[in-house]
Amino acid sequence: VKEPLFQEQGLFHEGQVLFTFLHLAADKTLTEALLKAKSVGIAYETVQKDDGYLPLLAPMSEMAGRISPLIGSFYLAKHKGGSGKFIAGVPGVPPAKVVIIGGGTVGTNAAKMAAGMRAQTVILDINPERMRYLDDIMSSNVTTLMSNAYNLEKVLPDADLLIGAVLIPGAKTPRLVTRKMLKFMRKGSVIVDVAVDQGGCVETTHPTTQDDPVFEVDGVTHYCVANMPGAYPETSTLALTNVTLPYTLKIANKGYRQALGEDKALARGLNLLEGKVTC
Protein backbone atom coordinates (compact mmCIF):
# COMPACT_ATOMS: atom_id res chain seq x y z
CA VAL A 1 0.00 0.00 0.00
CA LYS A 2 2.91 2.30 -0.74
CA GLU A 3 4.74 3.91 -3.66
CA PRO A 4 7.89 2.15 -5.03
CA LEU A 5 10.81 2.21 -2.60
CA PHE A 6 14.20 3.72 -3.45
CA GLN A 7 15.86 0.30 -3.54
CA GLU A 8 13.31 -0.86 -6.13
CA GLN A 9 14.12 1.89 -8.64
CA GLY A 10 16.76 -0.24 -10.35
CA LEU A 11 13.98 -2.60 -11.45
CA PHE A 12 12.21 0.02 -13.59
CA HIS A 13 12.41 -0.51 -17.34
CA GLU A 14 10.90 0.75 -20.58
CA GLY A 15 7.38 -0.46 -21.33
CA GLN A 16 6.79 -1.61 -17.76
CA VAL A 17 3.38 -0.64 -16.39
CA LEU A 18 3.36 0.46 -12.77
CA PHE A 19 -0.17 0.59 -11.39
CA THR A 20 0.28 1.64 -7.78
CA PHE A 21 0.54 4.62 -5.47
CA LEU A 22 3.15 7.04 -6.85
CA HIS A 23 2.80 10.41 -5.03
CA LEU A 24 5.17 11.99 -7.56
CA ALA A 25 4.51 15.58 -6.47
CA ALA A 26 6.41 14.93 -3.26
CA ASP A 27 9.19 12.71 -4.66
CA LYS A 28 11.47 14.17 -7.33
CA THR A 29 13.89 11.22 -7.19
CA LEU A 30 11.18 8.67 -7.94
CA THR A 31 9.77 10.84 -10.74
CA GLU A 32 13.17 11.18 -12.40
CA ALA A 33 13.86 7.45 -12.11
CA LEU A 34 10.57 6.55 -13.77
CA LEU A 35 11.07 9.13 -16.52
CA LYS A 36 14.58 7.86 -17.23
CA ALA A 37 13.35 4.27 -17.44
CA LYS A 38 10.38 5.29 -19.63
CA SER A 39 8.04 3.25 -17.48
CA VAL A 40 4.29 3.76 -17.69
CA GLY A 41 3.01 5.18 -14.40
CA ILE A 42 -0.67 4.91 -13.50
CA ALA A 43 -1.20 6.26 -9.99
CA TYR A 44 -3.90 4.94 -7.69
CA GLU A 45 -4.23 8.34 -6.05
CA THR A 46 -5.18 10.18 -9.25
CA VAL A 47 -7.71 7.70 -10.66
CA GLN A 48 -10.76 9.94 -10.46
CA LYS A 49 -14.46 9.68 -11.27
CA ASP A 50 -16.33 12.45 -13.08
CA ASP A 51 -17.71 13.72 -9.76
CA GLY A 52 -14.21 14.09 -8.31
CA TYR A 53 -14.33 10.91 -6.22
CA LEU A 54 -10.99 9.10 -5.84
CA PRO A 55 -12.03 5.42 -5.63
CA LEU A 56 -8.57 3.92 -5.17
CA LEU A 57 -7.33 6.49 -2.67
CA ALA A 58 -10.47 6.34 -0.55
CA PRO A 59 -9.77 3.08 1.37
CA MET A 60 -6.31 4.19 2.46
CA SER A 61 -7.64 7.65 3.34
CA GLU A 62 -10.31 6.00 5.46
CA MET A 63 -7.65 3.87 7.14
CA ALA A 64 -5.28 6.76 7.79
CA GLY A 65 -8.10 8.95 9.06
CA ARG A 66 -9.29 6.34 11.52
CA ILE A 67 -5.76 5.54 12.69
CA SER A 68 -4.74 9.16 13.33
CA PRO A 69 -6.70 9.82 16.57
CA LEU A 70 -5.54 6.46 17.96
CA ILE A 71 -1.92 7.29 17.23
CA GLY A 72 -2.32 10.83 18.53
CA SER A 73 -3.88 9.57 21.75
CA PHE A 74 -0.98 7.14 22.23
CA TYR A 75 1.62 9.91 21.93
CA LEU A 76 -0.28 12.18 24.30
CA ALA A 77 0.79 9.76 27.03
CA LYS A 78 3.32 11.32 29.40
CA HIS A 79 5.86 8.51 29.02
CA LYS A 80 5.77 9.11 25.24
CA GLY A 81 6.60 12.79 25.61
CA GLY A 82 3.02 14.02 25.55
CA SER A 83 1.12 16.25 27.91
CA GLY A 84 -0.41 13.33 29.77
CA LYS A 85 -3.94 14.34 28.80
CA PHE A 86 -6.34 11.44 28.25
CA ILE A 87 -8.22 12.00 25.00
CA ALA A 88 -11.59 10.82 26.36
CA GLY A 89 -11.46 12.56 29.72
CA VAL A 90 -13.37 11.16 32.71
CA PRO A 91 -16.29 12.47 34.79
CA GLY A 92 -15.18 15.77 36.27
CA VAL A 93 -12.21 16.12 33.88
CA PRO A 94 -12.76 17.36 30.30
CA PRO A 95 -11.57 15.41 27.25
CA ALA A 96 -8.81 16.49 24.90
CA LYS A 97 -9.38 18.88 22.01
CA VAL A 98 -8.68 17.53 18.53
CA VAL A 99 -8.25 19.93 15.59
CA ILE A 100 -8.50 18.47 12.08
CA ILE A 101 -7.44 20.46 9.02
CA GLY A 102 -9.46 19.21 6.06
CA GLY A 103 -12.94 17.75 5.90
CA GLY A 104 -12.47 15.22 3.12
CA THR A 105 -12.24 11.45 3.48
CA VAL A 106 -9.29 11.53 5.90
CA GLY A 107 -10.71 14.35 7.99
CA THR A 108 -14.20 12.89 8.15
CA ASN A 109 -12.94 9.51 9.31
CA ALA A 110 -10.57 11.12 11.80
CA ALA A 111 -13.44 13.17 13.21
CA LYS A 112 -15.68 10.12 13.55
CA MET A 113 -13.01 8.33 15.56
CA ALA A 114 -12.07 11.35 17.67
CA ALA A 115 -15.71 12.10 18.43
CA GLY A 116 -16.31 8.45 19.28
CA MET A 117 -13.46 8.74 21.78
CA ARG A 118 -15.38 11.67 23.32
CA ALA A 119 -12.82 14.32 22.28
CA GLN A 120 -13.94 17.88 21.58
CA THR A 121 -13.34 17.95 17.83
CA VAL A 122 -12.99 20.83 15.37
CA ILE A 123 -12.86 20.35 11.59
CA LEU A 124 -11.48 23.18 9.44
CA ASP A 125 -12.35 23.24 5.75
CA ILE A 126 -12.69 25.78 2.93
CA ASN A 127 -15.90 24.40 1.41
CA PRO A 128 -19.10 25.73 3.03
CA GLU A 129 -21.22 22.96 1.48
CA ARG A 130 -18.90 20.31 2.88
CA MET A 131 -19.07 21.90 6.31
CA ARG A 132 -22.88 21.93 6.19
CA TYR A 133 -22.81 18.23 5.37
CA LEU A 134 -20.39 17.48 8.21
CA ASP A 135 -22.47 19.56 10.58
CA ASP A 136 -25.49 17.42 9.71
CA ILE A 137 -23.87 13.99 10.09
CA MET A 138 -21.45 14.52 13.00
CA SER A 139 -22.22 14.19 16.69
CA SER A 140 -22.65 17.21 18.95
CA ASN A 141 -19.01 17.21 20.09
CA VAL A 142 -17.86 18.05 16.54
CA THR A 143 -17.86 21.63 15.24
CA THR A 144 -16.79 23.06 11.89
CA LEU A 145 -14.77 26.19 11.16
CA MET A 146 -13.68 27.97 7.99
CA SER A 147 -10.05 27.16 7.30
CA ASN A 148 -7.81 30.21 7.15
CA ALA A 149 -4.68 31.46 8.92
CA TYR A 150 -6.66 33.55 11.41
CA ASN A 151 -8.85 30.67 12.54
CA LEU A 152 -5.90 28.29 12.68
CA GLU A 153 -4.04 30.61 15.02
CA LYS A 154 -7.22 30.89 17.07
CA VAL A 155 -7.65 27.12 17.64
CA LEU A 156 -4.02 25.98 17.89
CA PRO A 157 -3.45 27.14 21.51
CA ASP A 158 -6.17 24.79 22.76
CA ALA A 159 -5.31 21.85 20.49
CA ASP A 160 -4.03 18.75 22.25
CA LEU A 161 -3.95 16.88 18.94
CA LEU A 162 -3.65 18.41 15.46
CA ILE A 163 -4.40 16.17 12.47
CA GLY A 164 -3.35 17.28 8.99
CA ALA A 165 -5.88 15.90 6.49
CA VAL A 166 -5.39 18.18 3.48
CA LEU A 167 -5.40 16.82 -0.06
CA ILE A 168 -5.07 18.43 -3.49
CA PRO A 169 -5.22 15.44 -5.87
CA GLY A 170 -1.95 14.96 -7.72
CA ALA A 171 -0.35 18.09 -6.27
CA LYS A 172 1.92 18.91 -3.37
CA THR A 173 0.07 19.78 -0.19
CA PRO A 174 0.18 23.46 0.84
CA ARG A 175 1.94 24.22 4.13
CA LEU A 176 -0.97 25.65 6.09
CA VAL A 177 0.62 25.46 9.54
CA THR A 178 3.86 27.44 9.48
CA ARG A 179 6.83 27.14 11.79
CA LYS A 180 5.77 30.42 13.43
CA MET A 181 2.32 29.00 14.16
CA LEU A 182 3.87 26.12 16.06
CA LYS A 183 4.63 28.50 18.93
CA PHE A 184 0.88 28.75 19.57
CA MET A 185 0.71 25.06 20.45
CA ARG A 186 1.29 23.83 23.97
CA LYS A 187 4.29 21.70 24.88
CA GLY A 188 3.27 18.07 24.99
CA SER A 189 0.71 18.43 22.22
CA VAL A 190 0.84 16.13 19.19
CA ILE A 191 0.70 16.58 15.40
CA VAL A 192 -0.29 13.70 13.12
CA ASP A 193 0.28 14.91 9.56
CA VAL A 194 -1.53 12.41 7.36
CA ALA A 195 -0.77 14.65 4.35
CA VAL A 196 2.97 13.97 4.65
CA ASP A 197 2.97 11.58 1.68
CA GLN A 198 2.10 14.59 -0.50
CA GLY A 199 4.59 16.88 1.23
CA GLY A 200 2.67 17.62 4.45
CA CYS A 201 0.45 20.52 5.48
CA VAL A 202 2.65 21.45 8.47
CA GLU A 203 5.92 23.23 7.70
CA THR A 204 7.88 21.34 10.36
CA THR A 205 6.91 17.86 9.21
CA HIS A 206 9.03 15.45 7.20
CA PRO A 207 8.41 11.77 6.38
CA THR A 208 9.17 9.22 9.09
CA THR A 209 8.89 5.43 9.24
CA GLN A 210 7.03 2.87 11.32
CA ASP A 211 10.35 1.99 13.01
CA ASP A 212 11.13 5.61 13.89
CA PRO A 213 7.78 7.40 13.67
CA VAL A 214 8.12 10.59 15.73
CA PHE A 215 10.29 13.61 16.34
CA GLU A 216 9.90 16.75 18.42
CA VAL A 217 9.96 20.40 17.39
CA ASP A 218 9.50 23.13 20.02
CA GLY A 219 8.05 20.64 22.48
CA VAL A 220 5.43 19.35 20.03
CA THR A 221 5.54 15.67 19.04
CA HIS A 222 5.29 15.11 15.27
CA TYR A 223 4.05 11.78 13.89
CA CYS A 224 4.66 11.80 10.14
CA VAL A 225 4.69 8.21 8.89
CA ALA A 226 4.09 8.36 5.14
CA ASN A 227 2.39 4.96 5.08
CA MET A 228 0.15 4.88 8.13
CA PRO A 229 -2.12 2.05 6.86
CA GLY A 230 0.96 -0.16 6.55
CA ALA A 231 0.82 -0.69 10.31
CA TYR A 232 -2.32 -2.77 9.73
CA PRO A 233 -1.42 -4.68 6.55
CA GLU A 234 -4.20 -7.27 6.64
CA THR A 235 -7.02 -4.73 6.72
CA SER A 236 -5.22 -2.33 4.36
CA THR A 237 -4.45 -4.96 1.73
CA LEU A 238 -7.97 -6.32 1.66
CA ALA A 239 -9.52 -2.84 1.54
CA LEU A 240 -7.22 -1.76 -1.28
CA THR A 241 -7.60 -4.95 -3.32
CA ASN A 242 -11.38 -4.66 -3.13
CA VAL A 243 -11.22 -1.51 -5.26
CA THR A 244 -8.04 -1.98 -7.35
CA LEU A 245 -8.68 -5.51 -8.65
CA PRO A 246 -11.33 -4.57 -11.25
CA TYR A 247 -8.99 -1.96 -12.75
CA THR A 248 -6.02 -4.34 -12.59
CA LEU A 249 -7.95 -7.03 -14.50
CA LYS A 250 -8.99 -4.46 -17.10
CA ILE A 251 -5.36 -3.43 -17.70
CA ALA A 252 -4.17 -7.06 -17.74
CA ASN A 253 -6.87 -8.30 -20.13
CA LYS A 254 -7.00 -5.35 -22.52
CA GLY A 255 -3.58 -3.75 -22.25
CA TYR A 256 -3.08 -0.35 -20.69
CA ARG A 257 -3.74 1.69 -23.85
CA GLN A 258 -7.18 0.17 -24.51
CA ALA A 259 -8.05 0.19 -20.81
CA LEU A 260 -7.20 3.89 -20.53
CA GLY A 261 -9.12 4.67 -23.69
CA GLU A 262 -12.27 2.99 -22.43
CA ASP A 263 -12.23 4.25 -18.84
CA LYS A 264 -12.02 8.00 -18.19
CA ALA A 265 -11.45 7.55 -14.46
CA LEU A 266 -8.50 5.23 -15.08
CA ALA A 267 -7.14 7.58 -17.76
CA ARG A 268 -6.93 10.36 -15.18
CA GLY A 269 -4.56 8.12 -13.26
CA LEU A 270 -1.94 8.22 -16.03
CA ASN A 271 1.02 10.20 -14.68
CA LEU A 272 3.93 9.07 -16.86
CA LEU A 273 4.20 7.80 -20.44
CA GLU A 274 7.19 7.35 -22.76
CA GLY A 275 9.51 9.41 -20.59
CA LYS A 276 7.08 12.31 -20.17
CA VAL A 277 4.88 13.58 -17.34
CA THR A 278 1.27 13.53 -18.53
CA CYS A 279 -0.63 14.93 -15.54
Domain ranges in the chain? 6-54+240-277, 62-231
Pick among 3.40.50.2300, 1.10.10.10, 2.30.130.30, 3.40.50.720: CATH of 6-54+240-277: 3.40.50.720
Percent of the chain surpassing pLDDT 70: 100
**Closest to 130 in 3D by CA, of 164, 178, 166, 155:** 166
Say which CATH class 62-231 falls into. alpha beta
* 13 is a catalytic site residue: no
pLDDT, one tens digit per residue, over 108-149 is 999 999 999 999 999 999 999 999 999 999 999 999 999 999
Q: Decide if pLDDT at 197 tops 90.
A: no
Q: Are 116 and 87 in contact (CB under 8 A)?
A: no
Kindly give, in sequence order, each residue whose CB lies less than 8 Å from that of residue 210, ignoring residues fewer than 6 positions away: 225, 227, 230, 231
Q: Decide if pLDDT at 1 tops 80.
A: no
Residues 29-42 have a mean pLDDT of 95
| pLDDT, position 27 | 85
Q: Which residue in the list 125, 193, 197, 222 is annotated as catalytic? A: 197
Q: Are 232 and 65 in contact (CB under 8 A)?
A: no
* 158 is a catalytic site residue: no
Position 160, amino acid:
D
Alpha-helix runs per DSSP H in the chain: 28-37, 58-75, 105-116, 128-137, 149-155, 233-254, 256-262, 264-267
pLDDT, one tens digit per residue, over 153-195 is 999 999 999 999 998 887 889 999 999 999 999 999 999 999 9
Torsion angles phi and psi, residue 92, rounded to 5: 95, -10
**Closest to 130 in 3D by CA, of 107, 153, 113:** 107
Q: Which residue in the list 13, 23, 193, 222 is annotated as catalytic? A: 23
Q: Are 214 and 190 in contact (CB under 8 A)?
A: no
Decide the pairing of beta strands 276-277 and 270-273: antiparallel
Q: Decide if pLDDT at 198 tops 90.
A: no
The pTM (predicted TM-score) of the whole model is 0.88
